[in-house]
Structure 1
Amino acid sequence: MRKVAVVYWSGTGNTEAMAAAVAEGIREKGAEAALFTATEFDASMVDDFDAIAFGCPSMGAEQLEESEFEPMFSACGPKLQGKKIALFGSYGWGDGEWMRNWEETCAADGAVLACESVICNDAPDDDAEAACRSLGAALAE
């Protein structure tokens, strides 16, 4: 059985709701989903999983959350070479620049993006939740 980690940071609950939908999509495909907040996950855990979904909202000037998520993700970067991952998150302003920058960072780390990243404005609607389930399913395959 494939093991997939869903690692996220959420300030308002929007990205947490997206993480739950990602985990649901993983389980629907028969894989094991393990949910972690950014403070519960670290680079030493990367090799324990077949794939990882990372979720973080846009913060400040379209960037990853700086105190908990970004340091954890940066520490994981060197271990993502060849790892199947997917990205998701919510935003309240801007045009998704933080996600494009994040995808570029992942590509530079050699990570394998399993599918198109999922972003939504504010709380996830039905379409965003369905996209999150599909993202999870892609990681479970």
Structure 2
Amino acid sequence: MKVVYWSSTGNTERMAEMLGEEIKNAGGEAEVCELSTVSPADLAGEDSFALGASAMGDEELDEGEVEPFVEELEKSVSGKKVALFGSYDWGDGEWMRKWEERMKEAGAEVVGTVIANNEPGDEDQANLAELAKKLV
């Protein structure tokens, strides 16, 4: 299973690594990779995957790489199990709620979301472990 991430500060990258380990702990296989190394077409062939990005600006997805990727991905997520994760520094997680709603409207089964305020901690690790179990 692919765990794809875009990280502006390294916090979301750390979450991706943690999620990959938790997927393995739950009995699955995980390939953790940066967003720039995959295409939406690569994920179209997957039954389930995880996608992570840090919040940017006014609680939005990065407009340079992430937003165009998600727009294209929305065309092929119907019927797929998707987990979303990411980190933020301010706000209340509105960007993740909007992202989750977009994926659901595109037909994805969003099995859960995990957001960390800045660097992920023990509680985030536990939440990622639960998310991994839902994906596997």
TM-score (norm 2): 0.95
Moved beyond 6 Å, runs of 4+: none
Match of 1:9 in 2: 6
- Give the conservation status (yes or no) of the 8 Å contact 2:5–2:33: yes
> Given that residues 44 and 73 in structure 2 are in contact (C-alpha distance below 8 angstroms), is that contact kept between their aligned partners in structure 1?
no
How far did residue 75 of structure 1 move? 1.0
Residue correspondences, number: 136
| Superposed CA RMSD | 1.1
Q: Distance in 1 between matches of 2:129 and 2:16?
A: 9
Work out the percentage of aligned pairs sharing the same amino acid: 43
Equivalent position to 1:119, from 94, 108, 115 = 115
Corresponding residue SS for 1:35: strand
Of structures 1 and 2, the one with the larger relative CO (CA 8 A, separation 6+) is: 1
Deviations 1:28-80 (A, max 9, x none): 12211011211111121123322111101110011011111221121111100
TM-score, structure 1 as length reference: 0.91
Q: What is aligned with 2:90? A: 93
Match of 2:128 in 1: 132
Q: Which runs of 5+ in 1 are unaligned?
A: none
In structure 2, what is the Cα distance between the partners aligned to 1:129 and 1:10?
Answer: 17
Equivalent residue letter for 2:119: A
Q: In 2, are the aligned partners of 1:19 and 1:132 still within 8 Å (CA)? A: no
Distance 2:125 2:119 in 1: 10
* Structure 2 residue runs without a partner (length 5+): none
In 2, Cα distance between the equivalents of 1:108 and 1:50?
17
**Amino acid in structure 2 at the alignment position of 1:124:** P
